[in-house]
Amino acid sequence: MTNQTGKIVAIKEASEKVNKKTELKISSDSKTCIDGLTINLRKWEDQGYIGIVNPKEFQATTAILRARKALTSLQWVKGHAGIEGNKKADELANEGRLKTDADNIELSIEKSVQVTGAKLNLITQSMATKAIRMRKMKTACYRKALNCRATRCRVGRAKWCAKEINGTEPSDKLIWKSIRHKDFSRPFRYFLWMTIHNGYKVGDYWRNILAMEHCAECHHCRCDESMEHILLECKAPGQAKIWELTEDLWNEKKNGMDCTRFWHNPDS
């Protein structure tokens, strides 16, 4: 459970445990959660919560707040500022984070207060694409591909390499998020996704295809082909130069240079 998920669930649980007819004031250091239940609520509901993090938790919490009969107010407080209630909440959050078994959180919503779908006049092409992607990610086929052994191994290796370089190990979620970073072009984001899923036809893919077995071997190095070999190990002419230019390009980007111009004219 992420930090934000825990905070929205905390608001839900507090609203649920207090008598519906009792006035309630909830303090939280999460502006995202408070805004999601107040300022952004109408917009998110009109858009069907498409592209929103923790949509089920926000919907369930909203339904419980609407079912209350007394005044319920939400107040933002500064985090890590020595506020007694907030300090205790952080301690409980840390205890929850260390649990080996996740708590079973009830997120069902009564039909009388449930808001479903999005308004068609507010749907954009981008939102529709996100909705289709979210629905596809829930299918059994997608989950199976995501959790296959080869994919898990590649994600694990990426985490290990990141820890070797930076000293800290990123989460699986951060790895998947990083391959969609805005600094990467769309074709490169697609390339990273396909590589993690072993989606390219290289190496062992060709061994079981009659008369194509020779494609499983690197013709230059005379060894088994793989994406790792293609990118990092192959001694074919030009590979070392490509990585040299890539390193120069990365360094120039960090220095704020126009990388598009640099890439097209390496000698400039």
Q: Are 172 and 147 in contact (CB under 8 A)?
A: no
Give domain status of residue 79, yes or no. Answer: yes
Does 95 share its domain with 25?
Answer: yes
- Record the tokens describing residue 222, joined without a space: 């005379």
Count of structural domains, the chain: 3
pLDDT at position 264 is 45
Give domain status of residue 121, yes or no. Answer: no
Give domain status of residue 150, yes or no. Answer: yes
pLDDT at position 1 is 59
Does 15 share its domain with 27?
Answer: yes
Helices 3-17 and 84-97: angle between axes, nearest 10 degrees: 120
Instruction: Over range 18-27, report the average pLDDT.
Output: 92
Q: What percent of the chain has pLDDT over 90?
A: 20
pLDDT at 262 over 50: no
pLDDT at position 2 is 67
Does 217 share its domain with 267?
Answer: no
Give domain status of residue 125, yes or no. Answer: no
Domain boundary among 100, 119, 145: 100
Type of residue numbered 23: E
Q: Which one-letter DSSP state was computed for residue 255?
A: T
CA 122/CA 43 separation, integer angstroms: 10
Q: Could you give the angle at the alpha carbon of 60 between the alpha carbons of 58 and 66, nearest 5°?
A: 100
Q: What percent of the chain has pLDDT over 70?
A: 90
Instruction: Over range 214-228, report the average pLDDT.
Output: 89
Give domain status of residue 123, yes or no. Answer: no
pLDDT at 267 over 50: no
Domain boundary among 73, 100, 127: 100
Q: Would you tell me how many other CB atoms lie within 10 Å of the CB of residue 158? A: 19
115: buried, middle or exposed (CB in 10 Å: 19+, 13-18, 0-12)?
middle
What is the domain extent for residue 180? 135-237
pLDDT at 245 over 80: yes
Give domain status of residue 122, yes or no. Answer: no
Does 189 share its domain with 264?
Answer: no
Does 225 share its domain with 168?
Answer: yes
The tens digit of pLDDT for each residue in 140-182 reads 877 776 677 778 888 898 999 889 988 889 888 889 889 988 8
The tens digit of pLDDT for each residue in 108-144 reads 887 777 777 788 888 888 888 888 888 887 788 777 7
Q: To which residue do tokens 């707040």 refer?
A: 65
- Least-confidence region, from 30-34, 65-69, 88-92, 203-207: 88-92
Does 210 share its domain with 166?
Answer: yes
pLDDT at 260 over 90: no
What is the phi-psi region of residue 90: left when phi exceeds 0, alpha when psi lies from -120 to 50, beta otherwise?
alpha
Does 206 share its domain with 225?
Answer: yes
Strand partners, 26: 74
Does 211 share its domain with 248?
Answer: no
Q: Are 29 and 78 in contact (CB under 8 A)?
A: yes
Does 162 share its domain with 231?
Answer: yes
- Least-confidence region, from 11-25, 203-217, 254-268: 254-268
List the CATH number of the domain containing 46: 3.30.420.10
Does 87 share its domain with 38?
Answer: yes
Does 192 share its domain with 244?
Answer: no
Greatest pairwise CA separation for the chain in angstroms: 77
Does 161 share its domain with 225?
Answer: yes
Give domain status of residue 76, yes or no. Answer: yes
Give domain status of residue 113, yes or no. Answer: no
